[in-house]
């Protein structure tokens, strides 16, 4: 009976470790990848001053690209769902993505400065949660 308990315990530990690796462990970006992401983020910051709507669109694309590098597949929405365990504020990131969608698809939508700042803050937090300090 003791052997079965040990076997079950070891099996459970292996399963839990596998779940940890799948859901919680962040893929580390190489130094070069981090440098490239920071370079593109600088472009987002420049756009923020002159064309804030374009800055949000660019930040959203950059997050999509970073999640692709990290191994997530599908649309950005699917990637955000799959990566939800690594983000400290899913709502903030989803709200930023929703603002992006309104900019891209609603011809009459003009985000307020509060929405722009909040969206870019959400994207910035997403990169920090991914391990890329901006």
Q: Tell me the pLDDT tens digit for each residue of 61-120.
A: 999 999 999 999 999 999 999 999 999 999 999 999 999 999 999 999 999 999 999 999
What is the spatial distance between Cα 9 and Cα 125, in angstroms, rounded to a whole number?
Answer: 38
Q: Tell me the pLDDT tens digit for each residue of 24-40.
A: 455 688 999 999 999 99
Could you tell me if 46 and 39 are in contact, meaning their C-beta atoms sit under 8 angstroms apart? no
Give the confidence band of 2 by pLDDT, cuts at 50, 70, 90: confident
Q: Where are the domains of the chain?
A: 29-129
Could you tell me if 83 and 70 are in contact, meaning their C-beta atoms sit under 8 angstroms apart? yes
Backbone angles phi and psi of 24, in degrees to 5? -110, -30
Give the confidence band of 6 by pLDDT, cuts at 50, 70, 90: confident
pLDDT for position 17: 61
What is the spatial distance between Cα 58 and Cα 75, in angstroms, rounded to a whole number?
Answer: 16
Query: Which class does domain 29-129 fall in?
Result: mainly alpha
What is the spatial distance between Cα 57 and Cα 101, in angstroms, rounded to a whole number?
Answer: 9
What is the spatial distance between Cα 11 and Cα 18, in angstroms, rounded to a whole number?
Answer: 11
């Amino acid at each position: 009976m003791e052997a079965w308990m040990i076997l079950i315990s070891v099996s459970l530990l292996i399963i839990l470790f596998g779940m940890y690796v799948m859901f919680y462990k962040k893929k580390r970006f190489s130094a070069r990848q981090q440098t490239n992401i920071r370079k593109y983020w600088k472009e987002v910051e420049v756009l923020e001053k002159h064309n804030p709507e374009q800055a949000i669109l660019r930040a959203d694309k950059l997050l999509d690209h970073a999640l692709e590098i990290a191994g997530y597949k599908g649309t950005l929405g699917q990637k955000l769902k799959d990566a939800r365990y690594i983000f400290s504020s899913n709502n903030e990131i989803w709200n930023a993505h929703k603002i992006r969608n309104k900019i891209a698809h609603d011809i009459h939508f003009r985000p307020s400065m509060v929405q722009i700042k909040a969206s870019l803050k959400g994207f910035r937090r997403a990169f920090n949660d991914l391990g890329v300090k901006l």
